[in-house]
Amino acid sequence: MTPQLAPFLQRYWPALACLSLAALLFWLQPPRHISAALAVLAWLGICVRSWRPRSACAVPVSETGEPLFVAYASQSGQARAFAELSAEQLRSAGIAAQALPCDALRAERLASSSRLLLIASTYGEGEAPDHAARWLRELDQAQPDLSRLDFALLGLGDRQYRHFCGFARQLDQRLQGLGANPLFDRLEADRGDPAVLRQWQQQLGVLAGGQHFAAWQAADYQPWQLLARHCMNPTSQGRPAFHLRLQPTDYMPAWQAGDIAEVAPCQPTERVEALLRTLQLDGQLRLGDGQSLSAQLARRQLPDDLQSLRGLDAEAVLQTLPLLAHRDYSIASLPDDGALELLVRLLQDAKGQPGLGSGWLCQYAPIGGAVELRIRSNPSFHLPTASGPLILIGNGTGLAGLRAHLRERERLGQHGHWLLFGERNAACDLFFADELRTWQRSGHISRLDLAFSRDQAQAVYVQHLLRDAADELRAWIERGASLLLCGSLQGMGEEVDALLHGLLGQQQVTALREAGRYRRDLY
- Three-state secondary structure of 459-522: CCCHHHHHHHCHHHHHHHHHCCCEEEEEECHHHHHHHHHHHHHHHHCHHHHHHHHHCCCEEEEE
The pLDDT confidence band at residue 76, using thresholds 50, 70 and 90, is low
- What 3-state DSSP class applies to 369? coil
pTM for the full predicted model: 0.70
Separation CA 495–CA 391 (nearest Å): 16
Residue 424: how many other CB atoms lie within 10 Å = 19
- Maximum distance among all alpha carbons in the chain? 84
Q: What is the mean pLDDT of the chain?
A: 86
Residue 84 has pLDDT above 60, yes or no: yes
pLDDT of 134 reads 84
From residue 55, how far is each of 12, 49, 59, 64, 521 by CA, in Å? 15, 14, 7, 15, 19
How confident is the model over 457-461, as a mean pLDDT?
Answer: 89
What percent of the chain shows pLDDT beyond 70? 87
Residue 393 has pLDDT above 50, yes or no: yes
How confident is the model over 175-197, as a mean pLDDT?
Answer: 89
- Neighbouring residues of 422: CB distance < 8 A, sequence distance ≥ 6: 394, 395, 396, 450, 451, 452, 453, 460, 461, 462, 465, 492
Q: Report yes or no: 413 and 440 within 8 Å, Cβ to Cβ.
A: no
How confident is the model over 202-222, as a mean pLDDT?
Answer: 84
How confident is the model over 126-148, as a mean pLDDT?
Answer: 89
The pLDDT confidence band at residue 97, using thresholds 50, 70 and 90, is very high
From residue 311, how far is each of 278, 295, 456 by CA, in Å? 11, 21, 59
pLDDT of 253 reads 94
Residue 70 has pLDDT above 60, yes or no: yes
Separation CA 94–CA 82 (nearest Å): 19
Separation CA 25–CA 426 (nearest Å): 35
Pairing of strands 260-264, 327-330: antiparallel
Q: Report yes or no: 519 and 484 within 8 Å, Cβ to Cβ.
A: yes
Residue 448: how many other CB atoms lie within 10 Å = 14
Closest C-alpha to 94, from 65, 53, 58, 63 = 58
- Neighbouring residues of 169: CB distance < 8 A, sequence distance ≥ 6: 155, 186
How confident is the model over 390-404, as a mean pLDDT?
Answer: 97
From residue 348, how far is each of 7, 57, 189, 352, 505 by CA, in Å? 35, 19, 33, 5, 39
pLDDT of 27 reads 47
Residue 401 has pLDDT above 70, yes or no: yes
Instruction: Say if residue 415 is exposed, middle or buried (CB neighbours under 10 Å; 0-12, 13-18, 19+).
Output: middle
How confident is the model over 180-200, as a mean pLDDT?
Answer: 88
pLDDT digits (tens, 9 = 90+) for 354-387: 999 999 999 999 999 999 999 988 877 899 998 8
pLDDT of 100 reads 94
How confident is the model over 123-145, as a mean pLDDT?
Answer: 86
> What is the amino acid identity at position 453?
S
Least confident of 135-149, 214-228, 448-462, 484-498: 214-228
- Length of the chain, please? 523
Least confident of 12-21, 142-151, 324-333, 462-471: 12-21
pLDDT of 124 reads 67
Q: Report yes or no: 182 and 509 within 8 Å, Cβ to Cβ.
A: no
